[in-house]
């Protein structure tokens, strides 16, 4: 996916020799989580808005050299890895470096999310199915085969949770009838965590739950 046209140049870059006065003003006037710092044009790291309360206007950025954070991306970084970098560092801007460690601009989280939302995963009509299985047992090729064996299209899939040796995968499936797809996943030992309302198993489960609740309230 092409994201190079989303590079922005409206976020400044500060030299380590500058005072913190302008950095403080920048963070107070924007919602940016970080800003890049360079030394003679070469990337050193990032100042975080979370440290704003510690900044003193008369001091230089040099005084905070060892507090700088050090994440970045390059133009070659894939859009999925860019999203991961945003998430891992709780950032809403990312500096983009060239091979010489020079800052070429920034990516904005809002812009990259817009690119993600513009993919067929979100735009194509279909249904969401969330399944879980052991971390050693899942296979994206198997999941695609399960979907396609029921004359449906797999529009996208990604891991949305992983803990306690289990993974949770969210799938977007181009079909109006999810029942057969869901039943096939169960036969392959996947647990259905969420499916749309025409899944008969989930509907039966809901009806039994409602019946039990009424019984207990008698």
34-49 confidence digits (pLDDT tens): 999 999 999 999 999 9
CA 51 to chain centre: 24
- pLDDT grade, residue 118 (50/70/90)? confident
State whether 8 and 111 are in the same domain. Answer: yes
State whether 157 and 203 are in the same domain. Answer: yes
**pLDDT tens, position by position, 166-179:** 999 988 898 767 88
Q: How many CA atoms lie within 13 A of 55 on its CB side?
A: 23
State whether 48 and 96 are in the same domain. Answer: yes
Alpha carbon of 16 to those of 23, 31, 44, 45, 69: distances in Å? 11, 22, 8, 10, 13
Kindly give the interhelix angle for 179-187 and 200-216, rounded to the nearest 10 degrees. 90
Residue 129 and residue 193: Cα distance in Å, rounded?
8
State whether 108 and 133 are in the same domain. Answer: no
CA dihedral for 48, 52, 54, 55, sign (positive or negative) = positive
Instruction: Specify burial of residue 151 (Cβ count, 10 A radius: 0-12, 13-18, 19+).
Output: exposed
CA dihedral for 183, 202, 143, 162, sign (positive or negative) = negative
- pLDDT grade, residue 84 (50/70/90)? confident
User: Is the per-residue pLDDT at 198 higher than 50?
Assistant: no
**pLDDT tens, position by position, 102-114:** 999 999 999 988 8
For the chain, percent of residues with pLDDT exceeding 70: 89
* Domain boundary, last residue among 116, 144, 161: 116
């Amino acid at each position: 996916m092409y994201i190079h046209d989303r590079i922005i140049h409206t976020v400044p870059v500060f030299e380590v020799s500058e005072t913190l006065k302008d950095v403080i003003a920048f963070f107070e006037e924007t919602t940016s989580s970080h800003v890049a710092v360079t030394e003679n044009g070469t990337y050193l790291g990032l100042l975080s808005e979370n440290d704003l309360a510690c900044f003193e206007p008369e001091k230089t950025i040099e005084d905070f050299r060892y507090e700088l954070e050090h994440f970045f991306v390059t133009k070659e970084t894939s859009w999925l890895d860019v999203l991961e970098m945003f998430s891992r560092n709780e950032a809403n801007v990312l500096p983009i470096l060239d091979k010489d460690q020079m800052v070429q601009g920034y990516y904005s989280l809002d812009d990259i999310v817009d690119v993600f939302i513009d993919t067929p995963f979100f735009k194509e009509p279909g249904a969401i199915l969330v399944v879980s299985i052991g971390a050693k047992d899942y296979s994206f090729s198997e999941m695609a085969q399960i979907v396609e064996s029921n004359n449906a299209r797999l529009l996208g899939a990604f891991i949305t949770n992983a803990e306690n040796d289990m993974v949770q995968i969210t799938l977007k499936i181009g079909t109006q009838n999810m029942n057969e797809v869901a039943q096939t996943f169960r036969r392959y030992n996947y647990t259905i965590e969420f499916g749309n309302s025409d899944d008969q198993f989930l509907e039966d489960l809901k009806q039994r739950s409602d019946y039990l609740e009424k019984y207990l309230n008698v």
